[in-house]
Structure 1
Amino acid sequence: MFKTSKFLLMLTMLMVVIVMTSTLFPFIVGKYVFFRIVVDLALIFFLLGLLFDDRHSSAIYRHLSALYKNPLVIAVSAFVGIFLLAGFFGVDPHFSFWSNFERGEGGIQMLHFYIFFILILSLFREEKDWRELFWWALGGGVLMGIYGLLAGGGMQGFVGARFSDPGFRFQGSIGNPAYVAIYVLFTSFYALYLLATEYKKKLTSSGALAIFGSLAFFAVIFLLAATRGAFIGLIAAVVVAFGYLGFTNKKWRKKLSISVGIVVVIVGILIAFQGSPVVQKIPGSRIFDITTTAKTFQDRAIMWKIAWNGFLDRPALGWGPENYLNIFDADFNTAYFKPAEGFGAWFDRAHSIVFDYLAETGILGFLAYVSMFISLLYLFWKSNSDQHKSAQISINQRQPVATPVSPFERALFVGIIVAYLIQGLVLFDVSVTYINLFTVLAFATYKFGDQDKISNLKSQK
């Protein structure tokens, strides 16, 4: 029963590939329907395992009990709970919970992500489980890219942007270049983690070469997606991750400082001369046009102002998830109405994780959201301190040293969280970001949680 549940949870990593051309929103509907069905089935088999698999169920009960004492699990639970509460007390509770055909988000989807989060924490209790999950995620990312290539080439039955379209940006099987960009950053995190652990001493093996190939593929996709927010997030992630590595290892400090300096200088030059013919010829050169005068930024600025006013009207729990449309109507900004360009876009979201959560879930929801990352930071530093203490005790007592989390692995965690948060300043969360966010948070709980307790629970299987 539990094995079936684990397989289904791994299957969710293929959600990104699902496209239903028979629906009005082909890139959205199939994904959330697939995810909910698979998670529901995983939950059913998990519960059946608890009922009929006495050999493993007692250990899982103890593991669950320990999990709910973990700060990060508590923070995630608080966020989901307040998210649902904000919907219940919002202006349209029904819509907050069920969402609509176009978005497929709301409380019902958040509940499924929470179930997914708890299930993978309950069942993925060994390193090999997570590595297998990451392989599934890589497979999903590659298939997403292949779909985009086929659609771009005009293959019959594949929908999306064509390579010949003016201003082409890669959409993959996601349908939105902005989410393609952050998605491949997450999959690159999984790929780099596998290289740093499973293939650390086997970089010329077929598995490692496959990962290198997928990373190169993701890099091309990232450039073709040409998303400025994700690009800034990537640069910030590289700088912070390298900074962390330099801080933890004096031997690397000089080389990493030089590397960061070179990256910053090159990017700075490309941004400064983004209008030149040479830079314009670079694929995805749109990412270098980083100014506050860009139309997309101006549109967002209007949305953020409307969201802020909505937050001030209902500061505690906000208007409820999915209800930004009501804020937009109540505080319509005439600057947004441009007849020559059509009515506008993005009226149901503020296009920022900050303003969307403030407006829709209030200060309580926003603080609960922030608390997840504060809790992650706490676990991160605590585990680092505990790791050094455990290593010293093991040396003094001549005991075997537990496998430590390497500085590079820690830098990867720092990098992906920074990239996600930076790009989120100008984008809102959807299913393809939520599934990766909850996966990374669950993995961080496993990686930086109390490993002594986890080891004891494993021995009691």
Structure 2
Amino acid sequence: MDSRTRIDMVRFAQPSALADSLSLGANGTPAILAVAGALAIAAGALPLHYSAIFVIAVPLLLLAWTVPRVGLVLFLLSIPFSSWTKVTLGEFDVTATDVLVGILLSSWLGRGIARQQLRVSGGPIVGIALALLGAALLSSLAAVDFPDAVKELIKLAEMIAMAIYAASVLTGPDDTRVVLLALIAAGAAEAMVGLYQFVTGSGPEAFAIGPFMRAYGDFAQPNGLAGYLAMILPFGVVLSVLPRPGWPTGWHRGLIIAATLIIAVGLVATLSRGGWLGSAAGLAVMALLWSAATRRALMFAIAGVAVAVVVASVGVLPLALIERVGVVFEYFRVFDVRTVAVTPTNFALVERMAHWQAAWTMAMDHPLIGVGPGNYEAAYPSYAVGQWVEPLGHAHNYYLNTFAEMGVIGLTLLLAFMATIFVRIATGIARAGASLARVWPNETASDDRRDMLRRAALVGALGGALTLSVHNSFDNIFVHGIGVQFGLILGLVEVWCMGFRGGLAPERETDRSTPGTSRAHRG
């Protein structure tokens, strides 16, 4: 038995009535007309602007429920633009992303129950994530602001649910292609929003650095946009350099390369030092793994950085950009903010350190289970350092933030969660052939295009996870739906590690060496 957890319900000879109702053929036309009539009546009873939204959104959501692949694409496209659809219900904000998560999960569960066969796959990543959720539930007992704790619990539960969904449903190579294309398309679209802000100077004064306006997109702040783009960039890179027998080819590759370049430039335009550091770390490790050619390119890149430092030292680059990059090295120095003179250049750095100190003191006072998930802001006034009285929502270090909110139990499980992700991905790459260079020195040497896609996707996932881990050392990147997107990727990691099988649209190809045997079942 492999590492996936499976639950298979008994398959009966005859499909149930519910299963029939989920597959509308010609006989389903009256039902469709009835639903359409009901929607028209409901839309007519609403104010005009709500009616327009209703008329557009409801058919899309119905389509997402009946055609899961459409729902999957809409889900991924909704993440960067979810602020457009935010609705506040009491203490909670609901976006189109949350609704689409519910639609994808209910559609999968509904079909499984209707067909009386439900396959649930997990793996070691899901297992440790469930333990982390248990720790969050325990910590919520200490929460001062319980609604904030519930919000964090929901975010974590959504991430786990999407990981299970992906591992159970998105098991075919076409599913991987759809996800990667939708990710890159959404990333490029959001990057263009950020680039427009950067070029036109459109944005809050607080985001201006010298002559530059930091790109922030629809994330309300530049670091969130940087975290989102930096997670997607590695997948664009691996698809752009995937050898010709793999995928994509022709004009598809050209579009992916163009979109990847837009994402990369958008990331630069955020002027997010944490995003830059995380992306540099992720791409460097990917280059080390990919091939001898990329390892040589990495050496040239390092040399290029050295040249840039020299050029900056003689004043060729804009002063604001030099100061922005130069202060990065201060990230690695711990200091007492009460002894530092605050300047416009070091303001963000000192503010971040003030929140690190507050989080550390908070954790020391509540070492076992913390102050409760999502309760850093509620507890902050008692731990504010000096002039830094604004809580900002989190500690600007996800690990310290977790230590403060969930104590040593939560922090230990978080580190175990991240370690499990890296071990799992490394194991998958090893199973797929360890070194990509060993498999692809010659385009005709590949044994299977699907294996090439799996290896490339795993290397991209490694780069994305490493980027996220590094960036989270200076911020909290699990915002704006990024966490639930990360969950989907983690579920796909399990698929890529174990090999493709079936999926939303099973492959038509068969193994040439064994007629009638699907190649999707090969590891």
TM-score scaled by length of structure 1: 0.77
Q: Per the alignment, in what secondary structure is the counterpart of residue 220 of structure 2? A: coil
1:38-437 equivalences in 2 (<5 Å): 38-52=100-114, 54=115, 57-58=116-117, 60-61=118-119, 64=120, 67-68=121-122, 70-98=123-151, 106-149=152-195, 166-195=211-240, 205-245=250-290, 252=292, 255-271=293-309, 274=312, 276-280=314-318, 286-292=324-330, 294-334=346-386, 336-337=387-388, 345-387=390-432, 403-404=450-451, 409-428=457-476, 429-437=478-486
Report the Cα offset of residue 150 of structure 1. Answer: 5.1
Instruction: Give the greater-gyration-radius structure (CA).
Output: 2
Per the TM alignment, residue 182 of structure 1 is displaced from its structure 2 partner at its CA by 2.1
Report the Cα offset of residue 327 of structure 1: 3.2
Match among 5, 10, 18 for residue 82 of structure 2: 18
Q: Choose between structure 1 and 2: higher helix proportion.
A: 1
Question: Structure 2 vs 1, CA of residues 75 and 199 (structure 1 numbering), >3 Å: closer, same or farther?
Answer: farther
Is 2:497 aligned against 1:448? yes
Counterpart CA distance in 1 for 2:313 and 2:85 is 38
CA spacing shift, 1:364–1:120, aligned 2, 3 Å: same
Q: What is the alpha-carbon distance in structure 2 between the residues aligned to residue 172 and residue 97 of structure 1?
A: 27
Q: What is the CA–CA distance in structure 1 between the aligned matches of 2:283 and 2:239, rounded to whole Å?
A: 18
SS in structure 2 at match of 1:318: coil
Alpha-carbon offset, residue 225 of structure 1: 0.9
Query: How far has the Cα of 1:47 moved from its partner?
Result: 2.6
| TM superposition shift of 1:402 | 9.6
Gaps of 5+ in 2: 1-21, 23-64, 331-344, 435-446, 504-516
Partner secondary structure for residue 137 of structure 1 = helix
Q: Is contact 1:160–1:175 with CA below 8 Å preserved after alignment? A: no
Q: Identity across aligned pairs (percent)?
A: 15
The number of aligned residues is: 412
CA contact 2:198–2:269 (8 Å) conserved in 1 = no
1:4 aligns with 2:67: yes
Which residue identity lines up with residue 71 of structure 2 in the other structure?
A: L
Give 5+ residue unaligned stretches, structure 1.
99-105, 338-342, 390-399
Cα distance, 1:421–1:22 mapped onto 2, change above 3 Å: closer
**1:153-177 residue CA offsets vs partner (Å, 9 max, x unmatched):** 779xx97789999540111222221
Letter in 2 for 1:352: N
CA distance in 2, matches of 1:22, 1:377: 34
- Counterpart of 1:404 in 2: which secondary structure? helix
Q: Which string of whole-angstrom CA distances, capped at 9 and with x for unpartnered residues, describes residues 14-34 of structure 1?
A: 22123439989xxxx98x511
Query: CA contact under 8 A between 2:429 and 2:455: conserved in structure 1?
Result: no
**In structure 1, how many angstroms separate the alpha carbons of the residues matched to 2:211 and 2:166?**
43
Going from structure 1 to structure 2, the CA distance change for 1:285 and 1:165 (only over 3 Å counts) comes to: closer
- Structure 1 residues 327, 198: CA separation in 2 closer, same or farther (over 3 Å shift)? farther
Kindly provide the CA deviation profile for residues 110-169 of structure 1, in whole angstroms up to 9, marking residues without a partner as x: 3223222222222111111121022222222222133335556779xx977899995401
CA RMSD of aligned residues (A): 3.7
With normalisation by structure 2, the TM-score equals 0.68
Question: Residues 232, 6 of structure 1: CA spacing in aligned structure 2 closer, same or farther, 3 A cutoff?
Answer: same
Q: 1:37 to 1:380 in 2, by over 3 A?
A: closer
Amino acid corresponding to residue 72 of structure 2 in structure 1: L
Q: From the superposition, tell whether residues 118 and 168 of structure 1 become closer, same or farther in structure 2 (CA, over 3 Å).
A: same
